[in-house]
């Protein structure tokens, strides 16, 4: 079944062609990622697909037999609603039933008739699965403490998590996701990967998280020069096939260039020498010339590289030694008695859950935040460069080139030569026309790139990067990786991009809570694999009972310390049903061992197996909820 169909998309802005006959289809069961470089009009295409933008020249067909939900960078939530109302909309019958059920069983006296009616309705609509899903999503996205708050007082990242939670709770047929991993910490991202894989979602998403692309996607659609190229596979397959396509295009361009040179030599011969030649050949030359220029321009547009070997200020042997760093906000400990001596050329990743004080730690290192107790011995030659994710505020009346020249007219690169501001901007993918344009016309990601340029322009030898990959496309991130791998100074990075950090850094500062920071050498993947017991103990968010989801229960604990007669009966019944489902699961597993089973039967059995597994998970979740009442 086709969920989304785009036919013959043509669009231009002024004289620039954006989409040229673009076609694409998303079928049921596909998990598609839309990949493109910055400036490839990826956002414009995504807005068209979500219905935020339309053109008369083309059509987008979305199936009217399915539910479609979207998650964009700008969440469309009512600022006056509280999080509880957003997540549990009374328009959703199952949500209302669960809220009523929790209200009844939490009351001091149980109204048996109303209770029986609710249980029958919940069974009929299979609302227990809804309850289990709600508890898991709220816990894993860490929204429990926000349920009483209004949307208007939340940060942009918190709003994004609320919108994502609502989307996952409702489980629509087709999801349109724009950077779903932004504002999530590493643990949340890995949970989201697993959640999407285990559920039967069809989705189309835009993301720069390459591990997410690798682990979630069934197809990669690359948008390049107004055309869509489909790669049926995950990110590894995409890279392999793209490399082959690029190599083929390079060979074809080389062959075309040789033919063009040969024909050009003939055209440059004296007219008398060409009189005996075919007029047809002359016409073919102009067609070849046009095709060659178009192909050459298209090819060179793809290979824009950020190449900059900065000549750093010299670092002496002493860089920075921290002793006894301590910082608290009230009872919340950010850092407690932290000791470390930075060495020349080391690369550190600061990583772990949101809200544990990573950004505060950076401000402490820079001296922008007062400490409760500390001793820092700083080398005299240390020059900090701090790239922050905070709002970028440039003077809108200035041109891009003026912004750069305010910092320096030139920069000394690694070989000792001097690079002018104009040439420097070109290496940062700002063409001459854009350099002389006003900074207010730059897109957000272009301002981010300009901000990074200004940081490097000061020749820092101790570089601190706060979420450097946010709002950058995959190709630009790869270029930044190459620069950082060649960077000779100290590097400290805050990022949730696991692929980026596995490639760039050498060890981690792991925030374990209560002010404790441990130093782990090797990559995050090594940490996750070798320290799985620590992750399970300190990082995994416990799933709490659904007593948290109603306003009345948020303000007072549940008084009931034992199961009622009906709840006990329900608990026993769930145990019997789970046992029965496990037996069915075992029967199917035995059938899978048969070598002569037909393919159609395998597919049918696998569908049955998925349903059984889902039912077991739902019923086990309900049993846990009942057990939590007497915990």
Alpha helices in 171-234 (DSSP H): 186-198, 210-216
The length of the chain in residues reads 631
186-198 vs 127-140: helix crossing angle, rounded to 10: 160
362-398 pLDDT tens trace: 888 888 888 887 788 888 888 888 888 666 778 889 9
Residue 54, CA distances (Å) to 47, 69, 99, 289 in order: 8, 18, 40, 36
pLDDT above 70 (res 280): no
Residue 64 pLDDT exceeds 50:
yes
Q: Taking a C-beta distance cutoff of 8 angstroms, is the pair 392, 447 a contact?
A: yes
| Segment among 54-58, 137-141, 511-515, 622-626 with least mean pLDDT | 54-58
Round to whole Å and give the CA distance between 263 and 248.
23
3-state secondary structure of 395: coil
pLDDT bucket at 534, cuts 50 / 70 / 90: very low
Query: Could you tell me if 22 and 6 are in contact, meaning their C-beta atoms sit under 8 angstroms apart?
Result: yes
User: In whole angstroms, what is the distance from residue 195 CA to residue 525 CA?
Assistant: 20
Question: pLDDT per residue over 451-501, tens digit each?
Answer: 888 887 887 888 999 888 877 777 778 778 877 887 878 899 988 888 888
Structure tokens at 387: 């790239």
441, pLDDT greater than 60: yes
Q: Residue 514's closest CA among 248, 332, 270, 271? A: 332
**What per-residue confidence (pLDDT) applies to 33?**
92
User: How many other CB atoms are there within 10 angstroms of residue 630's CB atom?
Assistant: 11
Which of 492, 392, 490 is closest to 442 using CA atoms? 392
Give Dmax over CA atoms of the chain in angstroms: 109
Would the pLDDT of 631 be above 70? no
Residue pair 391/437 in contact by the 8 Å Cβ criterion:
no
* pLDDT score, position 429: 75
pLDDT over 90 (residue 31): yes
Determine if residue 105 is left, alpha or beta; phi over 0 gives left, psi from -120 to 50 gives alpha, anything else beta.
Answer: alpha
Pair 84, 148: CB distance under 8 Å:
yes
Dihedral of CA atoms 168, 173, 179, 185 in degrees, nearest 10, equals 20
Q: At what angle do helices 127-140 and 112-125 cross, to 10 degrees?
A: 80
pLDDT score recorded for residue 557: 41
Q: Which residue has the higher pLDDT, 265 or 551?
A: 265
pLDDT > 60? residue 533: no
CA–CA separation, 383 and 37 (whole Å): 32
* Confidence (pTM): 0.65
Tokens of 366: 């820079």
Name, in order, each residue with C-beta under 8 angstroms of 376's C-beta and a sequence gap of 6 or more.
Answer: 320, 321, 322, 323, 325
pLDDT tens track for 317-341: 678 888 889 988 877 888 889 999 8
Quote the CA–CA distance of 406 and 401 in Å, as a whole number.
9
Q: What percentage of the chain reaches a pLDDT higher than 90? A: 6
pLDDT digits (tens, 9 = 90+) for 89-116: 777 788 788 777 766 766 666 677 888 8
Question: Does residue 387 contact residue 366 with C-beta atoms inside 8 Å?
Answer: no
Return the pLDDT at 79.
Answer: 86
Q: What is the mean pLDDT of residues 150-172?
A: 86
**What pLDDT does residue 32 have?**
93
């Amino acid at each position: 079944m086709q969920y989304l169909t785009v036919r013959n998309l043509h669009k231009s802005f002024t004289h620039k062609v954006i989409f040229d006959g673009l076609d694409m289809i998303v079928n049921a069961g596909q998990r598609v990622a839309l990949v493109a470089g910055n400036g490839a009009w990826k956002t414009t295409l995504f807005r068209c697909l979500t219905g935020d933008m339309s053109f008369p020249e083309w059509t987008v067909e979305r199936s009217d037999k399915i539910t479609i939900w979207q998650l964009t960078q700008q969440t469309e939530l009512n600022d006056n609603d509280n999080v509880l109302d957003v997540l549990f909309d009374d328009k959703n019958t199952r949500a209302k039933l669960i809220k009523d059920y929790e209200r009844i069983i939490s009351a001091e006296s149980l109204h048996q008739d109303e209770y029986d009616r609710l249980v029958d309705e919940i069974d009929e609509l299979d609302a227990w699965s809804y309850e289990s899903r709600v508890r898991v999503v709220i816990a894993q996205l860490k929204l429990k403490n926000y349920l009483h708050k209004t949307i208007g007082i939340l940060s942009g990242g918190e709003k994004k998590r609320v919108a994502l939670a609502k989307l996952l709770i409702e489980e629509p047929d087709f999801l349109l996701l724009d950077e779903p991993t932004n504002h999530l910490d590493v643990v949340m991202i890995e949970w989201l990967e697993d959640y999407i894989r285990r559920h039967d979602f069809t989705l189309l998403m835009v993301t720069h998280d390459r591990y997410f692309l690798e682990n979630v996607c069934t197809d990669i659609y690359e948008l390049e020069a107004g055309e869509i190229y489909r790669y049926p596979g995950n990110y590894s397959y995409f890279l392999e096939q793209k490399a082959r396509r690029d190599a083929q295009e390079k060979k074809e361009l080389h062959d075309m260039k040789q033919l063009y040179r040969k024909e050009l030599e003939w055209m440059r011969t004296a007219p008398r020498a060409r009189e005996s030649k075919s007029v047809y050949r002359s016409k073919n030359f102009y067609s070849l010339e046009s095709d060659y220029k178009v192909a050459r321009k298209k090819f060179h547009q793809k290979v824009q590289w950020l190449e900059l070997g900065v000549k750093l200020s010299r670092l002496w042997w002493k860089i920075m030694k921290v002793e006894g760093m301590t910082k608290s906000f009230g009872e919340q400990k950010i850092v407690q008695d932290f000791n470390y001596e930075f060495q020349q050329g080391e690369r550190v990743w600061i990583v772990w859950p949101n809200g544990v004080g990573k950004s505060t730690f950076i401000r402490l290192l820079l001296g922008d935040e007062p400490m409760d107790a500390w001793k820092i011995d700083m080398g005299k030659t240390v020059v900090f460069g701090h790239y922050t994710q905070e709002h970028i505020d440039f003077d809108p009346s200035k041109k891009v080139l003026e912004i750069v020249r305010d910092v320096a007219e030139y920069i000394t690169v690694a070989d000792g030569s001097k690079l002018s501001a104009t040439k420097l901007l070109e290496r940062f993918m700002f063409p001459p026309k854009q350099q002389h344009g006003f900074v207010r016309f730059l897109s957000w990601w272009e301002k981010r790139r300009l901000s990074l340029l200004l940081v490097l322009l000061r020749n820092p030898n101790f570089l601190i990067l706060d979420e450097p990959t946010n709002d950058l496309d995959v190709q630009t991130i790869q270029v930044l990786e190459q620069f950082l791998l060649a960077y000779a100074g100290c590097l400290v990075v805050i990022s949730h991009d696991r692929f980026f950090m596995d490639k760039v850094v050498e060890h981690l500062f792991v925030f374990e809570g209560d002010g404790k920071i441990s130093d782990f050498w090797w990559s995050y993947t090594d940490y996750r694999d070798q320290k799985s017991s620590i992750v399970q103990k300190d990082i995994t968010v416990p799933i709490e009972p659904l007593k948290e989801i109603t306003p009345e229960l948020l303000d007072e604990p549940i008084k009931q310390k034992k199961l009622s007669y009906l709840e006990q009966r329900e608990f026993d019944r769930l145990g019997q049903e789970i046992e029965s489902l496990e037996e069915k699961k075992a029967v199917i597993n035995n059938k899978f061992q048969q070598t002569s089973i037909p393919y159609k039967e395998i597919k049918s059995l696998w569908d049955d197996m998925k349903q059984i597994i889902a039912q077991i998970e739902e019923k086990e979740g309900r049993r846990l909820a009942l057990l939590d009442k007497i915990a």
